[in-house]
Amino acid sequence: MQFTRRKIIGLGAALVTLSSYPLLAGQSLSTSRPLPPRRKPSGTAPSIVNATLRAAVRPTKLFSDTLLPLWTYHDDILPVIRVSKGGRLRTAFRNDLPEHSSIHWHGIRLPNDMDGVPYVTQQPTPPGGEFVYDFTVPDTGLFPFHSHCNTAEQLGRGLAGALIVTGDETKFYDADLLCVIKDWRVGSGGHFTAFSNDRGAARAGTFGAVRSVNYQHIPVMEAPAGGDVRLRLMNIDNSRVNQIGLEGAEAAVIATDGQAIAPFPFETWRLGSAMRLDLCIRMPAPGHEVNIFDYFAPEPVLLATIKAAGDGFVRSDFNPAPLYAADITEPDLSTAIYKRIEFSSAAVPSPRSVKLFNGKIFDPMDGLCLSDKTFWAINKTTWPEDGHQRLPAPILNLKKDQTYVFELVNATPHMHPIHIHGHTFLYLNSNKQSLPKHFADTVLLKPKERIHVAFKADNPGDWMFHCHIIEHAETGMMSILRVA
């Protein structure tokens, strides 16, 4: 198969950057530096960004001369929207797909009715229909957006974008590169293959045959030689967990799921579906290159390359500046209520109606939002519910402004990136690995792992809580948390 490159272009008021992402080994970050305090509001009026996203079929020669019937939000097939922190994003969404859709803004702590989950927070937008998403962005960082029904196919066909919320930098970077990682379920004839099958859905997921970064196969990017570069990495694949590694540069982790962390040397990091990682890398001398790999494979898989361009800076030791601290309230653990949440395999359920936070009834009989197969469960409950002849309900009713500690328990032999809507977890600890405390809206559970996370349930509404391996969510590992 012959691969061609395709440029990713900016969207309206938004800017776009190309990116890729490296890993390093054995560098010498001295001691980790504390985060500077949250940045004070500037006092100027918050910015407003207007975006137009039109979901449509856009046949594109992506990896070969065969036109691949992509579904995308924009003529720029991977739109990138930039908004400054505290700014307002107004998105006119039009659906010209042959089926209903919506936009879920992953990781954004927004009002419940802007969360883009069909039936739960809004009616699905039908073919020919429109919906306006209008909300303020409270946190800096990198966030994906995508649909939330029939996602295996809609996201599988490319229906996604990136939202970058700016305002967290304490120092100027020499480049800012975005690296969106995704498999494509494309066969040797250059056509789409099945986005999901039972074998994949019941195990680790249905992987694609073609890897991509920014919808290109092994793109080659450039950054100033010797420069300090911000690399924003985001995995939007339906299923595959990528274990990111870099060769050819020193690097430090500066943010997880977009939220600042005291910089520490980067060696490797697992990115499950929808997870993000920000690195600062020191580019090598002119003519050298940095390679970004997925190490979670029998042989390392090259994802992208960054070439060191220009004459090169003369620089002192590598000691990346921390980003401004996240604007998220640190949970007060002394008052926290503990909840154990187990992720397991499931028996076959019988769908039934759910009464929602907004008083409406969610009728789950829409085939686009449900699978007829059920393989997975959360606290022995499947989505929409494995009923015992009773009305299903949110798996947990949470008190508004109460702090909770969840023990996320993986009772399966597979990995599950667990995602909460409308809130951000503080990752505390694990029985399997020692990662620093960090903020995350999506937490990767390894087989048999138990992870403690804490958060303040301060955003009222019915919020989805699910595995982000799309096939797992669509075959049972999805639920609602009610905050009221």
Give the residues lining the site for Cu ion (CB under 5 A): 416, 467, 469, 472
Residues 6+ apart with CB under 8 A from 334: none
Using only C-alpha atoms, the chain has a radius of gyration, in whole angstroms, of 21
CB of 207: closest distance to Cu ion in angstroms?
14
The single-letter code of the amino acid at 183 is D
Residues 6+ apart with CB under 8 A from 35: 260, 261, 262, 322, 323, 324, 325
Residue 263 token pair:
């910089």
Q: Among 386, 414, 66, which residue's Cα sits nearest to residue 273?
A: 414
For Cu ion, which is the closer residue by CB, 122 or 150? 150
Residue-wise burial string across 151-177, b where 16 or more C-beta atoms lie within 10 A, e elsewhere: bbbbbbbbbbbbbbbbbbbeeebbbbb
CB of 108: closest distance to Cu ion in angstroms?
22
For Cu ion, which is the closer residue by CB, 77 or 415? 415
CB of 206: closest distance to Cu ion in angstroms?
13
The single-letter code of the amino acid at 469 is I
CA distance 300 to 441: 27
CA distance 425 to 441: 6
Helix (H, G, I), strand (E, B) or coil at 152: helix
CA distance 453 to 437: 9
Given strand 228-235, what is the order of strands in its sheet?
210-213, 175-184, 228-235, 276-282, 250-256, 259-265
CB of 445: closest distance to Cu ion in angstroms?
8
Cβ atoms of residues 463 and 115 within 8 Å = yes
CA distance 28 to 162: 32
CA distance 285 to 272: 32
Q: Is the peptide bond before 384 cis (omega within 30 degrees of 0)?
A: yes
For Cu ion, which is the closer residue by CB, 203 or 355? 203
- Which sign does the torsion angle of CA 193, 194, 195, 197 carry? negative
Cβ atoms of residues 413 and 380 within 8 Å = no
